[in-house]
Structure 1
Amino acid sequence: METPINLTALSSLLGIPGSTPLTTREMNERLQVYLYPPSKTSGRLQCFVSSLSQAFRVLGVRLLSRKEAIREDGTFRPGIVVIAPGDYPDDELAINRVSALYNTIIVGIHDMPAPLHAGSSTQNKLDAIVSRLAWDMVHISIYLDDDRWTVCTMNGGVVELPGPCPLPSDIQATLVPKLAAQVVPPRPSDINFLPGTLASTSAIFSSIADDFTACARLWRDNDYLLTHTSRESLHYRSAFYRKVVARYLDQRSGMSYGFFARQLPQAVPPAIPCETAPAPGLTETPDDGIAVRVLDSWYRVKPAAVIVITTRSGCRKTQLDPATDLVSITLDNGRITFRTGSEHPDSSPARPSFDTLTILAHALGNTFIASLLKTLRPSWNFPGDLASKGASMTHWHGYPQHGQHELISEGYFTHGEHNPPVSCSTPQSAAYSLLGKLEALEASLKTGRPYRGDIHIEPHHGTNIVGSLDLAQTARLLNG
């Protein structure tokens, strides 16, 4: 895949694996799938699994034999996808064969309609999806009906496809990207935790907290950010599986969706034009600057550490208490630091959002845009706005019903609609956030409309609104 930033440099900046596949073709080549023998089956299940297997073969996905998929100790080989069709008794669940919680994706297939009802609230739909995932101990569920099949994911995504059996094109466009990387919370080993070190009594924090509070109030009547599924409200097969889910969620109390964030003000130096493209395979260092292509010309941008104030994982986004619900995250040379305020109770440790890396990728991308604009369009306001007041970020699991036209007229540019529909918390999601921002910059330069931000559409997932407007201004536009 040709990208405006060298992929090795991108992986170093974001702290993601250099081998991260970004196209569906690359994802197909990396996928390894094992068909777990069903305990009970049906004609419809057999037809679907047969068509699914054939679709994988057509796409070049490797199907594993039992010997290839299961090690001598009876556990699955790490890094594979397990397809588990039908219902299983407790002792035959595929989850029993994983060697670690974050190295195997399990997909359940059910001969029944999706547990969703027309007219159900967003909260009820989310509860139904997550409850079934927890009961079956799978990461993705596929439901079969007479005339369609439905994919449901941990992030509340629902995708309906026509026909009783899958076509290769449907699998490539919808399922493969969801199997390319697992939804996992940020791992403690990847983050430097500094509890109680966020200066939550400072004047700048107080001003930012007011913006969060005003934003939360404006979203209060929109059920996209009201949703919160408690871990304790789910039904489990046994206390053991309850503990497995708790460990998978890193002891979070439940799952809520979306985030608000404010990037702290940051001045950046102008990008330096390059006379020639960087040599293939050249190792780039932050001190030398990262080569970035914009409209077929190359520039060097010096990456800087970025700091973002954001909502903690699991908090109720429309009823924020800034003293306990706001945290700080920093990205510096691929390493993340997480800070909580001094008033956050020790008895209830805060957790970083599943979207932490995506948030920081957007913040880093903002500094790249500002640096490039200082050179390409020094009269435009975005670099000065970032230096004086920072930037805001709003994410929810839905798409703009109001305000998108107004945002575009304000200088926000849309990207991401045609990206593979990966899940949140994946390396791909972070990479698309940064790369897409450069795509939005090019659109701005071509049209001559000054850049103020971007509207990042994530297929089957949601929307990120990132730019110079503060959180409350963005909320007013989006909520009519």
Structure 2
Amino acid sequence: MRKILSQKAIQAILGIKEDVDITTDRMAKKLLITYYPVGNTKISENVKEFSIELREAFDKLGVTIIPYSESMYLLPRKRVVRRAFKIFIGNIIALFNKARNIESLYIPWKDARAMLRRKRIKKGVSIVVLGENDIGNLPMERINSFKENSVITLVDFPSHITEDSSFDEHFRASMSLFAHHMTNIAICVNDKNWMLYNFNASHPVFSRGEGIERGVIDALVPKLVAPIRPYKISEFLVTKDAFEISDKRHEESSEDLISASSKFASTNLFPDGRNIDDLPFRSNFHRLIGKMHLDNRNGMSFGFLAKQLPTHLSLVHKENSLPDKLSNLEFGDSDYIQNKNGIYVKFQIVDDGEHYVMKIPDISVLSQRSGSDKTNIDPENDILKLGLVNGRMLLDTPQGFGKKITSRPSFDTQVILAHAVGNAMVASISRFFDSASELANNIEEFGMGICHWHGYMHSNHIPVHHSVYGRNNPHVSCSSPQSAIYALDGKLSNFIEMHNTGKTYVGDIHVEPHHGSNINFTNLIDLAKIFIENPSATELGNKYL
């Protein structure tokens, strides 16, 4: 599929300012690996042998491996003092909030001391660990950044996991391994296969031996370069008590979201989440690290329902006949311009064809907060409004939103926004070529439902006029900037291909390999009915990937 916008333009639209590698070759060259020193722990022959196979695969792929001693550095004293001060102030705030029954993160002094040790693993280094290590000797206790360090632990295959194990069995096994070993990724090994667990709740299985590097480059490398990164409140422009769920602007969309939520309960596509306090951490300090890694979230749940609000579409113009108010736009060699009025993009529908110009529409989406029960929405406490305006993410809470509730947005927030802004863009283009466009009329009048679950659609049950894209993308983690880039870039390319081949487009299914699917469907209630009436259309896990 042809790309109609550059990666720089895509990132500007989504507000992603960092450098992002989106191909596995570049990811591998960026990766920095060290092997954690092996202690007195008994390690199986399978784990020992696989660690050698993994090292050889890294070498073949051009991954840089450094000695553990070179991965360490001393944290400057000023940073230690600054970190201690932040912990002190945070604890005062936590105690104050506790008196008001508001949930906050309190760090006991003995745990704070461990967090203030100076000798740390450098940012950007991923650590491979063999087997089990004792408390006090875990690399997670020595990393410098939850965002820029990842821990990969090699363990024996769980005895109760088989080829027939359910999604829930894999999910519970993986969460237990993450908590016990304090690891971002667990690689389970037997004499024939290796299986990768990460927070995507997927479980790809690969054969050992010759050709192992294929699985490493497809599944492991992307999850190290693009790890889980929960969004922090500081990344949003937050407005509290900003809207009324039942007012004219939000009532129809919120009703679709709330009603569909209860209907989806019978599909079993949204498994029960896990509370941090219920996981088998070996110490309270480890539980504290888990909460900090999740930006003080109480736990994790999987999947989401969201409803894009009716959206005002943008006008599309031919570049050689821009209206007066846009005539001063000078793109030069770039395909986008960002100024105080918004973001404007220039693109072609076909190679060597005319250039078109449009302003990126502002979008808003009603979404479920992170950790909420996806199939039993509490309207007063579970609904947030997300927005994307001129590359800035917005987060609004409704009037009466529970003050005791942690209002954290979904791990998939940027993917939700990527789909919503992409829907508005393709609808705007669709209307330019067809004033009666069904897609454009639907989005302006009804908005668009967006549903994500950790499974895939059977090819015989793809809804009419919906196309599928993304199957060949790298296996990145949810919440990574790559996942949002793939969502928007793929949607635009997919739409243009359908347009150029004369196919009708009213929505799409974005596949995230070994993570799940995102479907854009006008009405969430109608989507729930499709899944209920066709139980073989999809299921949790990798069966239809």
TM range (shorter): over 0.9
Kept in 2, the 8 Å contact 1:13–1:334? The answer is yes
Aligned to 1:442: 496
Question: Structure 1 residues 447 and 218, CA, compared in 2 at 3 Å: closer, same or farther?
Answer: farther
Equivalence map 1:23-422=2 (5 Å): 23-39=23-39, 40=41, 41-72=43-74, 73-113=118-158, 116-117=161-162, 120-163=165-208, 167-274=212-319, 280=333, 284-285=337-338, 287=342, 289-296=344-351, 297=353, 298-401=355-458, 404-405=461-462, 407=463, 409=464, 411-422=465-476
Q: CA-to-partner distance for each residue in 1:359-412, whole Å, 9 max, x for gaps?
A: 00111111210121122333321112111111110111111248733x1x2x11
Aligned to 1:451: 505
Is the counterpart of residue 473 in structure 1 residue 526 in structure 2? Answer: yes
Q: CA deviation at 1:266?
A: 1.3
Find the aligned partners of 2:316 and 2:334 in 1 and give their Cα distance.
22
Kept in 2, the 8 Å contact 1:403–1:477? The answer is no
Q: CA-to-partner distance for each residue in 1:237-279, whole Å, 9 max, x for gaps?
A: 111111111111122221111111111111223322346x975
* Number of residue pairs matched by the alignment: 476
Aligned to 1:8: 8
Letter of the 1:373 partner, please give it. S
Q: CA deviation at 1:280?
A: 4.2
Question: Structure 1 residues 243 and 165, CA, compared in 2 at 3 Å: closer, same or farther?
Answer: farther
Question: Structure 1 residues 204 and 285, CA, compared in 2 at 3 Å: closer, same or farther?
Answer: closer
Q: CA deviation at 1:423?
A: 1.1
Q: CA-to-partner distance for each residue in 1:280-315, whole Å, 9 max, x for gaps?
A: 456632657212343324422211221100111111
Question: Structure 1 residues 308 and 302, CA, compared in 2 at 3 Å: closer, same or farther?
Answer: same
Q: CA-to-partner distance for each residue in 1:16-57, whole Å, 9 max, x for gaps?
A: 134201111111121111111222333322221111111111
Letter of the 1:289 partner, please give it. Y
Q: CA-to-partner distance for each residue in 1:152-174, whole Å, 9 max, x for gaps?
A: 11121111112357621221111
Find the aligned partners of 1:213 and 1:347 in 2 and give their Cα distance.
21
User: Greater Rg, structure 1 or structure 2?
Assistant: 2
Question: Structure 1 residues 170 and 288, CA, compared in 2 at 3 Å: closer, same or farther?
Answer: closer
Kept in 1, the 8 Å contact 2:455–2:517? The answer is yes
Find the aligned partners of 2:404 and 2:315 in 1 and give their Cα distance.
45
Q: CA deviation at 1:196?
A: 2.3
Q: CA deviation at 1:119?
A: 5.4
SS state at 1:91 partner: coil
Find the aligned partners of 1:219 and 1:119 in 2 and give their Cα distance.
25
Find the aligned partners of 2:185 and 2:477 in 1 and give their Cα distance.
11
Q: Relative to structure 2, which stretch is displaced further, 324-333 or 265-274?
A: 265-274
Kept in 2, the 8 Å contact 1:220–1:226? The answer is no
Find the aligned partners of 1:141 and 1:373 in 2 and give their Cα distance.
45
Find the aligned partners of 1:282 and 1:446 in 2 and give their Cα distance.
21
Q: CA deviation at 1:120?
A: 5.0
Find the aligned partners of 1:288 and 1:461 in 2 and give their Cα distance.
31
Find the aligned partners of 2:151 and 2:2 in 1 and give their Cα distance.
31
Residue identity (%): 28
Aligned to 1:428: 482
Unpaired runs of 5+ residues, structure 2, are 75-117, 321-329, 535-545
Kept in 1, the 8 Å contact 2:194–2:208? The answer is yes
Letter of the 2:29 partner, please give it. E
TM-score between both structures, scaled by the size of structure 1: 0.93
Question: Structure 1 residues 401 and 324, CA, compared in 2 at 3 Å: closer, same or farther?
Answer: farther
